[in-house]
């Protein structure tokens, strides 16, 4: 009996020592895991956006720009100077957005944050350098920072020309305060980064769109120029704004100027033209104007953007397009559901086309009136001339090209109407780019059998991305093809008084009571 007692008492200290060692090991492992996790998180930064629509991630368009040649091979890093109060409610959002820009772009972007209240000397220095007096929070984007234009602290030096107008009142106001700045300099007021309602309440953020577009314009300087055949279309629209105005606003964000000209007043398309646009022409080209168009298309690196109005008589323009592999049919793409004729065409962006690199396979609806396009992609005669038509947008199944569209109750006629496939848009590539040197010899064209989709409140986000990608493809900026930034709208959740009372009781009574009850159960279990 004594031996048994002695054995038991001697084992207890051993067990206690073992437990202590185990506790120390567990704590040490936990601390080591925490330290390792913090180290890895700091050295291998990675952000995750768990929202369904990736609301807090940079768009495909911005990422391509930040990684592309335009920025990465620019002659000097682009300087972004944020002059903003640390106490500003927008500071955190702007900081994290531009930090993400720099993370993706690397050394191609120089980022500096300045608090004008704490760093008054630096703020006054910027005023002397750029001629911009601080009146509200702003972002200065300088596209010409190099050793010759920086001071000892790597800050930009003074230049001489003025910022080009963007057509926006807020941007023009900024331009007026920066008359001594460079053509490669842009000033973004923080108030330009969001939209407000009549009560001055922020309803949506457009910060990424504004900042990316200003980075592009700061790098390129003067906007790229596309001429618009203004005398071939109805300038005024009965309902809403003209399609070309909507298009012009889209292109301004891409640093592209849509400049109207009259074909009747010129002998040739200006040499500085990056492209020529015919947006919903209402009047056909005469022989002289057709010659001007043909001569421009025959140039090296020409670019044509044509959106058709199916209701217009455009015989000469249709002949011109047909000779290069696209036939604009005299029909209307429709379908019939529940005895009702529908013309808002359910469509899909074709896969494989460079323009649709980000949109391929996505669906959309082209509102208004559309005519179908015949696209001769495998025509040997055209291919031998190095002319390649490319389908871009295709109507889904169930639609047809109605030739008797004036009838009240149209029905598909296999002998008269056009069946699938029905294309709403196509491109033409003339020449073959086998290297960067031969890329300048290639001419491009984009044709869309619909103009109504550019009307106010009809242009869908994916269609805006499509038209921007098309224009960037036409002028040789393939790296800017992609899905652009979206406005992030603020949503408010209305809580009814009854629901508010329930939430109050839940937080103040039920949850604390549940915690106390669980604690009592655990305590009683351990006590037993």
With a cut of 70, say whether residue 149 has pLDDT above it: no
Model confidence at 506, in pLDDT bands (50, 70, 90)?
confident
- Residue 86: helix, strand or coil by DSSP? coil
The average pLDDT across 133-138 equals 92
More confidently predicted of 355 and 5: 355
Q: How far is CA 133 from CA 175, 180, 214, in A?
A: 11, 11, 19
Please determine whether the domains at 60-216 and 224-459 fall in the same fold group of CATH: no
Phi, psi of 476 (to 5 degrees): 85, 20
C-alpha span between 129 and 141 (Å, rounded): 13
The DSSP annotation for 77-113 comes to PEEEEEE--TT-TTHHHHHHHHHHHHHHHGGGEEEEE
Contacts of 460 (CB under 8 A, 6+ apart): 364, 365, 453
CB atoms within 10 A of CB 435: 6
At 213-231, the pLDDT tens digits run 999 999 998 899 999 999 9
- Residue 448: helix, strand or coil by DSSP? strand
At 46-72, the pLDDT tens digits run 666 666 666 678 898 999 999 999 999
More confidently predicted of 287 and 242: 287
At 185-198, the pLDDT tens digits run 999 999 999 888 88
More confidently predicted of 198 and 43: 198
The average pLDDT across 455-461 equals 84
More confidently predicted of 11 and 301: 301
At 72-94, the pLDDT tens digits run 999 889 999 999 999 999 999 99
**CB hemisphere CA count around 181 (13 angstroms):** 29
Residues across the chain: 528
Model confidence at 173, in pLDDT bands (50, 70, 90)?
very low
Average pLDDT, the chain: 84
Whole-model pTM: value is: 0.77
Model confidence at 25, in pLDDT bands (50, 70, 90)?
confident
How buried is residue 202: exposed, middle or buried, by Cβ count under 10 Å (0-12/13-18/19+)? middle
C-alpha span between 326 and 77 (Å, rounded): 43
With a cut of 70, say whether residue 444 has pLDDT above it: yes
Contacts of 464 (CB under 8 A, 6+ apart): 250, 484
CATH class, domain 60-216, is: alpha beta
C-alpha span between 19 and 17 (Å, rounded): 5
pLDDT reported for residue 14:
60
The average pLDDT across 253-268 equals 93
CB contact burial 34-55 (16+ within 10 A = b; e otherwise): eeeeeeeeeeeeeeeeeeeeee
Instruction: Judge contact between 342 and 368, C-beta under 8 A.
Output: no
Q: Which architecture, in CATH terms, is 224-459?
A: 3-Layer(aba) Sandwich (3.40)
With a cut of 70, say whether residue 12 has pLDDT above it: no
- Domain map (residue ranges) of the chain: 1-46, 60-216, 224-459, 495-528
Model confidence at 456, in pLDDT bands (50, 70, 90)?
confident
More confidently predicted of 238 and 306: 306
The average pLDDT across 25-36 equals 87
Instruction: Judge contact between 455 and 240, C-beta under 8 A.
Output: yes
More confidently predicted of 292 and 497: 292
With a cut of 70, say whether residue 436 has pLDDT above it: no
pLDDT reported for residue 177:
37
With a cut of 70, say whether residue 104 has pLDDT above it: yes
């Amino acid at each position: 009996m004594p031996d048994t007692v002695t054995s038991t008492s001697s084992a207890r200290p051993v067990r206690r020592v073992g437990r202590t060692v185990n506790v120390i090991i567990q704590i040490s492992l936990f601390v080591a895991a925490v330290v390792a996790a913090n180290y890895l998180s700091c050295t291998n930064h990675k952000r995750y956006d768990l929202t369904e629509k990736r609301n807090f991630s940079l768009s495909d368009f911005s990422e391509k720009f930040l990684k592309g040649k335009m920025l990465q091979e620019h002659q000097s890093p682009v300087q972004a100077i944020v002059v903003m109060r640390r106490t500003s409610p927008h500071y955190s959002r702007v900081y994290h957005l531009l930090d993400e820009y720099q993370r993706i772009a690397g050394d191609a972007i120089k980022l500096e944050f300045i608090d004008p209240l704490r760093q008054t000397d630096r703020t006054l220095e910027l005023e002397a350098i750029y001629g911009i007096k601080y009146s509200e929070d702003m972002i200065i984007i300088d596209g010409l920072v190099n050793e010759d234009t920086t001071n000892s602290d790597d800050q930009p030096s003074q230049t001489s020309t003025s910022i080009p107008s963007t057509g926006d009142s807020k941007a023009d106001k900024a331009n007026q305060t920066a008359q001594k700045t460079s053509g490669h300099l842009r000033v973004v007021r923080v108030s330009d980064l969001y939209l407000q309602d009549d009560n001055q309440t922020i309803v949506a953020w457009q910060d990424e769109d504004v900042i990316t577009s200003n980075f592009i314009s700061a790098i390129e300087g003067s906007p790229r120029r596309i001429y618009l055949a203004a005398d071939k279309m109805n300038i005024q629209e009965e309902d809403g704004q003209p399609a070309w105005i909507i298009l012009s606003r889209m292109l301004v964000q891409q640093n592209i100027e849509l400049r109207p000209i009259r074909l009747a007043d010129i002998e040739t398309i200006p040499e500085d033209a990056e492209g020529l646009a015919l947006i919903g022409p209402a009047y056909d080209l005469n022989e002289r104007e057709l010659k001007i168009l043909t001569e421009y298309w025959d140039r090296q690196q020409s670019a044509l953007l044509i959106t058709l109005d199916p209701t217009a008589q455009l015989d000469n323009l249709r002949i011109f397009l047909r000779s290069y592999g696209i036939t604009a049919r005299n029909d209307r793409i429709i379908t019939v559901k529940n005895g009702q004729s529908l013309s808002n065409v359910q469509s899909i962006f074709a896969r494989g086309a460079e323009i649709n690199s980000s949109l391929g396979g996505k669906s959309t609806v082209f509102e208004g009136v559309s005519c179908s396009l015949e696209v001769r992609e495998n025509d040997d005669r055209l291919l031998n001339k190095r002319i390649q038509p490319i389908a871009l947008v295709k109507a889904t199944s169930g639609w047809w090209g109605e030739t008797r569209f004036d009838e009240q109750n149209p029905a598909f006629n296999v002998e008269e109407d056009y069946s699938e496939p029905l294309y709403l848009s196509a491109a033409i590539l003339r020449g073959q780019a086998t290297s960067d040197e031969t890329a300048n010899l290639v001419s491009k064209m984009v044709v869309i059998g619909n103009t109504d989709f550019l009307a106010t409140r009809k242009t869908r986000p994916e269609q805006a991305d499509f038209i921007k990608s098309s224009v960037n493809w036409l002028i040789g900026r393939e790296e800017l093809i992609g899905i652009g930034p979206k406005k992030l709208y603020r949503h408010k959740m209305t809580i009814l008084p009854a629901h508010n009372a329930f939430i109050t009781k839940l937080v103040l009574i039920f949850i604390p009571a549940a915690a106390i009850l669980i604690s009592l159960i655990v305590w009683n279990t351990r006590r037993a």
